Amino acid sequence: MTTPLRFDIIPHVGIGPVRLGMSPTEVDAALAPLPGAMPAYKKFEHGRCFFRASLQIEFGGSGTVQFIGISENPDLFCAYEGHDVFDLAAPELFALIALRERTRTHHYSPLEYLFPDQVVTVYEADEQYDRKRGGTRPVFAEVGVGNAEYLAAIRAIRGVTAAG
């Protein structure tokens, strides 16, 4: 068995070699040398998927990466502050991310949540995503990072003010 590639989740920066603000050409070049990174789908204008769609990249109106989402893949070790995000129960990961927020108190949500200071998202906690311990606890299906463009788009969709 090969050693999984380490993809650190770094707020305001990116995930693994993919950085917020990269062009599609830069994304393709950053991932091309990695084993297993083959695009999962035909390239499309506003996004790319790699590692059997475990790594999803969205391009904003600027034409650069505005959001990166990652889901569990045995070929990848995905870490937030050194912790394997797909080997933590969802409430534990939520609490870990919430510790780094400067804003209000955050209340656990198993469906989806956006931490606005870090522009970090978690999505859909369920036992079916606990592939490392056999479905014994809820684990988030995806963790993502975005930039200010992504945060503004989400707030516009939700009808939330910049302070909300």
Question: 16 is in which domain, residue-wise?
Answer: 5-158
Q: Is residue 50 part of a domain?
A: yes
Domains in the chain, number: 1
Q: Is residue 164 part of a domain?
A: no
* Helix and strand counts by DSSP (H, E) for the chain: 3, 11
Q: Is residue 144 part of a domain?
A: yes
Residue 77 and residue 79: Cα distance in Å, rounded? 6
Q: Is residue 92 part of a domain?
A: yes
Count of Cβ atoms closer than 10 Å to residue 59 Cβ: 20
Question: At 156, which helix (H) or strand (E)?
Answer: helix 148-158
Count of Cβ atoms closer than 10 Å to residue 150 Cβ: 21
**pLDDT tens per residue across all 164 residues of the chain:** 589 999 999 999 999 999 999 999 999 999 999 998 987 665 666 889 999 999 999 999 999 999 999 999 999 999 999 999 999 999 999 999 999 999 778 999 999 999 999 999 999 999 999 999 998 999 999 999 999 999 999 989 888 654 44
Residue 63 φ then ψ, to 5°: 85, 5
Pairing state between β 76-80 and 83-84: antiparallel
Tell me 112's DSSP state. E
Q: Is residue 163 part of a domain?
A: no
Q: Is residue 121 part of a domain?
A: yes
